[in-house]
Amino acid sequence: MSQAIHTVGVVGAGQMGNGIAQVAAAAGLSVRIHDVDHARIEAGLSAIDQRLGRLVSNERMSEDDRKATFERLSAANTIDDLADADLVIEAATENEKVKAAIFTDLCAKLNKDAILATNTSSLSITRLAAGTDRPERFVGIHFMNPVPKMKLVEVVRGIATDDATFEAVRDFVGALGKTMTLSEDFPAFIVNRILLPMINEAVATLHEGVGSVESIDTAMTLGANHPMGPLTLADFIGLDTCLSIMRVLHDGFGDPKYRPCPLLVKYVDAGWLGKKSGRGFYDYSGEKPVPTR
Ligand SMILES: CC(=O)CC(=O)SCCNC(=O)CCNC(=O)[C@H](O)C(C)(C)COP(=O)(O)OP(=O)(O)OC[C@H]1O[C@@H](n2cnc3c(N)ncnc32)[C@H](O)[C@@H]1OP(=O)(O)O
Ligand SMILES: NC(=O)C1=CN([C@@H]2O[C@H](COP(=O)(O)OP(=O)(O)OC[C@H]3O[C@@H](n4cnc5c(N)ncnc54)[C@H](OP(=O)(O)O)[C@@H]3O)[C@@H](O)[C@H]2O)C=CC1
């Protein structure tokens, strides 16, 4: 039998962290959610509350289950509040220094048997693990966005991740009702190694004037049956996250085919990060997103 996981800590209450917290609480686990300040935690909990409310109004969840799910969630105002977690999943900004500092703080507080996981989209699990006191109990658990809706979770073993940790995480992912794929620890793993160069190419297609935002997205939704066009998806993921992933691919493989499109760099420099900042390839200030090029 694998190591039991009853209490889960989530660090980072943004779009991924609050989605992970929701699905873990809905699966019956006790979940503590932490972020840099209380307002961020409250915003994450409020996003979950609204989604659970919609599930009830769509008759996909009973009112009793909604209440029980929400009661299993609590705010962790400090890292100390995560001390008794069996598993902590870090879902903070895609920045290696930020993540490494979080793991240093966590290691000082957690039980020695607790599993540490990162939801990183691209960074080396092996290198993040090597900076902790427990590389054998460190693993990548890469959820897809939007977490409550997407069926896949990529599990990424670092070079030191032991079998007991892998088995506990495999069972955890199964208990959430998700399907797991196993990826070796190479830059951006499987999904983003394939998906992000496609998004980067869509930005290059826009940059070169081959098509407008609308024509590129329409081409790929109607022409390739993608649920979202690549520029809508880039805005949805966050252009900062897309750029970070392209940089990890470019640095990690040293292959010019992964060069981030200069237009993507310019948008991030402008603070146009997509849906979360109100503007990316679309402007989200009105009722409907409006293409910006
Ligand atoms: C970057 C990385 O590291 C890895 C990644 O995650 S890459 C990104 C992977 N994700 C994708 O590729 C998503 C592609 N898009 C889609 O699959 C679909 O457009 C979608 C599922 C997001 C929305 O589907 P849709 O039918 O157009 O929209 P809609 O009917 O409004 O919503 C469908 C469901 O998604 C949910 N949803 C939509 N946006 C959501 C969000 N931001 N957060 C949570 N749930 C969301 C809705 O609540 C709704 O749920 P129910 O069916 O339970 O009511
Ligand atoms: N977006 C996506 O589609 C996907 C993203 N991921 C990965 O998930 C992670 C989170 O991404 P996402 O949710 O989109 O990002 P968001 O920007 O929505 O959320 C990140 C959250 O982490 C907070 N944060 C930053 N530093 C710290 C810290 N030191 N301690 C605690 N919290 C902190 C941020 O606060 P503040 O804003 O104040 O800095 C923010 O609230 C990234 O590693 C990303 O690559 C994985 C799959 C899909």
The reply to whether 94 and 216 lie within a common domain is no
Average pLDDT, the chain: 97
Residue 158, annotated as binding a ligand: no
The reply to whether 180 and 199 lie within a common domain is no
Domain for residue 79, yes or no?
A: yes
| Residues 156-181, mean pLDDT to the nearest whole number | 97
Catalytic residues: 121, 142, 154, 192
* Dist. CA 7 → ligand 1 center (Å): 27
- pLDDT tens-digit series, residues 134-145: 999 999 999 999
Domain for residue 229, yes or no?
A: yes
Burial letters for 27-54: b for 16+ Cβ neighbours within 10 Å, e otherwise? bebbbbbbbeeeebbeebbebbbebbee
The reply to whether 268 and 149 lie within a common domain is no
The reply to whether 227 and 139 lie within a common domain is no
The ligand 1 atom at the shortest distance from the C-alpha of residue 121 is 3
Q: pLDDT value at position 35? A: 97
Map tokens 């088995």 to a residue.
167
Domain boundary among 184, 212, 232: 184
* Dist. CA 1 → ligand 2 center (Å): 33
Domain boundary among 156, 184, 212: 184
Domain for residue 215, yes or no?
A: yes
| Residues 116-140, mean pLDDT to the nearest whole number | 98
Mutate to test the pocket of ligand 1, among 18, 23, 50, 149 (most ligand atoms within 8 A of CB): 149
The reply to whether 77 and 205 lie within a common domain is no
Query: At 244, which CATH number?
Result: 1.10.1040.10
Query: At 38, which CATH number?
Result: 3.40.50.720
The reply to whether 180 and 209 lie within a common domain is no
Domain boundary among 131, 166, 184: 184
* Dist. CA 241 → ligand 2 center (Å): 9
Enclosing domain of residue 54: 7-184
* Ligand at shortest distance from the CA of 41: 2
Q: CA-CA distance, 264 to 246, in Å (whole number)?
A: 10
Ligand 1 atom 45, closest CA? 146
Residue 99, annotated as binding a ligand: yes
Given a cut of 90, is residue 3 above it in pLDDT? no
The reply to whether 282 and 168 lie within a common domain is no
Residue 22, annotated as binding a ligand: no
Q: Where are the beta strands (DSSP E) in the chain?
A: 7-11, 30-34, 73-75, 87-90, 115-118, 138-143, 152-157, 179-184, 282-283, 290-291
The reply to whether 171 and 239 lie within a common domain is no
| Residues 107-124, mean pLDDT to the nearest whole number | 97
Q: How does residue 200 score in pLDDT terms, banded at 50, 70 and 90?
A: very high
Domain for residue 1, yes or no?
A: no
Residue 171, annotated as binding a ligand: no
The reply to whether 85 and 224 lie within a common domain is no
Given a cut of 80, is residue 125 above it in pLDDT? yes
Q: pLDDT value at position 2? A: 81
* Ligand at shortest distance from the CA of 226: 1
The reply to whether 127 and 270 lie within a common domain is no
The reply to whether 281 and 141 lie within a common domain is no
Q: For every residue of 141-209, which 3-state class applies, written as one string? A: EEECCCCCCCCEEEEEECCCCCHHHHHHHHHHHHHCCCEEEEEECCCCCCHHHHHHHHHHHHHHHHHCC
Q: pLDDT value at position 29? A: 98
Distances (CA, A) of 226 to 103, 133, 221: 36, 42, 5
* Local structure of residue 11 (DSSP, 8 states): E
Domain for residue 279, yes or no?
A: yes
* Dist. CA 144 → ligand 1 center (Å): 9
Domain for residue 164, yes or no?
A: yes
Ligand 2 atom 19, closest CA? 14
The reply to whether 156 and 16 lie within a common domain is yes
